[in-house]
Structures are given as structure tokens and as C-alpha cells.
Amino acid sequence: MARFRTPSASSLLNPLRPADVLIKGENILYNERRHWAILLQPFVETLTILVFITLVAGGLPPNAFGALIILISAGTAVYLARQKNWSKATVYAATVAFLVGYVFFGVVNLAIAAILVVATRFVHRAAMWAFYDRLYITTRRVLAATGFLGAQINTMPLTRVTDISYKTTVAGELLGYSELRVETAGQDQALGLIKYLDRPTHFYEILIDRSTSAVGSVTEDDDVE
């Protein structure tokens, strides 16, 4: 059985260890975080928003700023509400809160709050990447684990892997990361698409080797029976 960490308040902030995700007789063959390029998009988003807030808050007249805020808030709300991973109620509530903050607290205070929120969001993502999110291949499974304020472990047995496709973009070639799509028998898996894969060739070779070996051993057992 997997030896999950003890349920104490102090453990909520600790990253998951290999011993927390392994079962008896299982060994780790690959243990890496995602490639650092996963932080490029949130970094660019954060930098763009910070520059925009600073320029707008310091340079535009209040009326123009108010109109701009309304247009951007409405456009952002519509876009996010159309995304499947965003709740419409959450998006609209955040938009209303933003507009109310502008009306009651003024441009400067709203800009400071927005900068803090955006900066905190990026720091959180960077900390999750650096300390908490890990990707494993073991002798039995592929695992993605994170352990901040609790634990979440997604697993995919090697015996269920039916097809593997490997994709590298121009940016991936330059920076050293790839994307892997794994087809499995049965329902869709949480690990069906693995983006920003670090050491992708090594991951691919191990996954091919272990998945074919696992399927072969299952087939042989079935033949024996």
C-alpha cells in the first residue's frame, strides 16, 4: 500500500516525498518537475498586466480609465466564462468585485490591489512548480503528484497504455521540452496529455520500454491461464 504522509497541520505545506506515492515493490525510474518553460506564459501575462496597470493608473484621466476598466472587465469576463475550466459565477463575481472596488476605493488603491493579486498568482505558480509538482514513471505506473495544502496524485497504470504520440514545437526544440499524448484502454485519463515535459527523450524511452514490457507480461499471464 502507498504510505501517505501523516495527517498533521504541519504536513499540509510539505511537498510529497517519493515514499508518499509508492506502493510496496515499486521503484522510481523517472522523477522530474515539468520544464521551467511552463512558467513563461504566466510570467509574460504577469509582466504585461503589471505594466498595463502601472501605465493606465498613472497616465490616463479618471474618465478614460473608468471606461477602459469597464471594457476590459467585460471582455475578460466573457472570454473566461466561455472556458470550460472557469465557473461563470466565479468570473462574473470577480468582475463585479473589481468594478465595485474601482468605484469605492479609487484608481490608486485598486491598482495596488490588482498588482498584489497578479504578483501573488505568479509567485504561487512558481512555488508549485519548484517545490510541489512532480512527475514520475515507476515500474508500474505514471504518476503526477502535488502536495500543497493537501495531496493530489493522478496515476495511470502502464498496462493500460495503448498508444503514445510525441510532439515537439520549435520553442520546445530550442528550450528542451516536449508534449506527450498517451492513449489508454477505457476512459480518458488525467495524464492523457503531458505538457512541458522535461528530459522528454528519456521519459519517452522509459515509458515505451516499461509499457510494452507490462503489456507483454499481462498477455503472457493470460496465455498461461
For residue 16, the 8-state DSSP code is: P
> Residue 33: what residue type?
R
pLDDT value, residue 113: 75
State the cell numbers at 188.
Answer: 480518458
Q: What distance in Å separates the CA atoms of residue 180 and residue 8, rounded to the nearest whole number?
A: 36
Residues of the chain under the 50 pLDDT cut: 1-2, 218-225
pTM: 0.67
- Every domain of the chain and the residues it spans: 9-33+135-224, 39-130
pLDDT value, residue 36: 92
9-33+135-224 has which CATH code?
Answer: 2.30.29.30
SS3 at position 133:
coil
Q: What distance in Å separates the CA atoms of residue 32 and residue 203, rounded to the nearest whole number?
A: 10
pLDDT value, residue 56: 62
What's the full length of the chain, in residues?
225
pLDDT value, residue 219: 46
pLDDT value, residue 223: 47
For the segment 64-101, what is each residue's pLDDT rounded down to a tens digit?
A: 666 666 666 666 656 555 555 556 666 666 667 666 66
